[in-house]
Structures are given as structure tokens and as C-alpha cells.
Amino acid sequence: MKIDLRKFGKILVSRSDGREAYLVMSAYITKGLSENEDIEINFSGVKVLAPGWADEVITKIASDFKNIKLINTANLSVNATLKFLKKVNGYRLNIK
């Protein structure tokens, strides 16, 4: 399953917006998927990613599914936030 985060905006900063995005994803995109499903999260088009938004989305998806691949993470904001989440939460995230 591929999740394109640009559908949620180019600037992803608010924790409350992240919570809402996760609820949309879990209701319409990932609903009914096995925890072993391959999940690819695409950051293409995302200019700013804040830890609050990412914690509400990426952390929760990483706890729901075992096989998470993060792509197009070269943006400095995206990369720094993902490294921070990985350090704080200890998740094994596959960053490409």
C-alpha cells in the first residue's frame, strides 16, 4: 500500500492536523490491511514536516504495521524530523 503524504498538504506541522490525517488514513487507506502489509510512505512534495504531525501519523502507522518503507525523504525538514522520531521512539524505520 502506498501513502502519498502530499495529499495532506505541503506543510505538515500541526499535531491536531496530524491526528486528523491519521484518522483519515486508518478509515479509508489502511482499513482492513494486515499488520504484515508492506506500507510505503512517500514524502515527495512535502516541504515542511514537524515532529508533532509526524508523531501523530508516522509513529502510529509504524505501530500498526511491521513493514514500513519511507521514500523521498531527502528534504532537510523531513529527514531531520524522521531521524528525531526514530531516536525518540526507537522504531526501525526504513528510510530511503
Question: In the chain, what are the domain boundaries?
Answer: 2-95
The answer to whether 48 touches 12, Cβ cutoff 8 Å, is yes
- Model pLDDT, residue 60: 93
Whether residue 86 is predicted with pLDDT greater than 90 in this model: the reply is no
Structure confidence by residue, pLDDT tens digits, 34-83: 999 999 999 999 999 999 999 999 999 998 999 999 999 999 999 999 99
pTM, full prediction = 0.89
DSSP per-residue letters across the chain: -EEEGGGG-SEE--HHHHHHHHHHIIIIISTT--TTSEEEEE-TT--EE-HHHHIIIIIHHHHH-SEEEEE---SHHHHHHHHHHHHHH----EE-
Total residues found in the chain within this entry: 96
Whether residue 96 is predicted with pLDDT greater than 90 in this model: the reply is no
Average pLDDT, stretch 11-34? 96
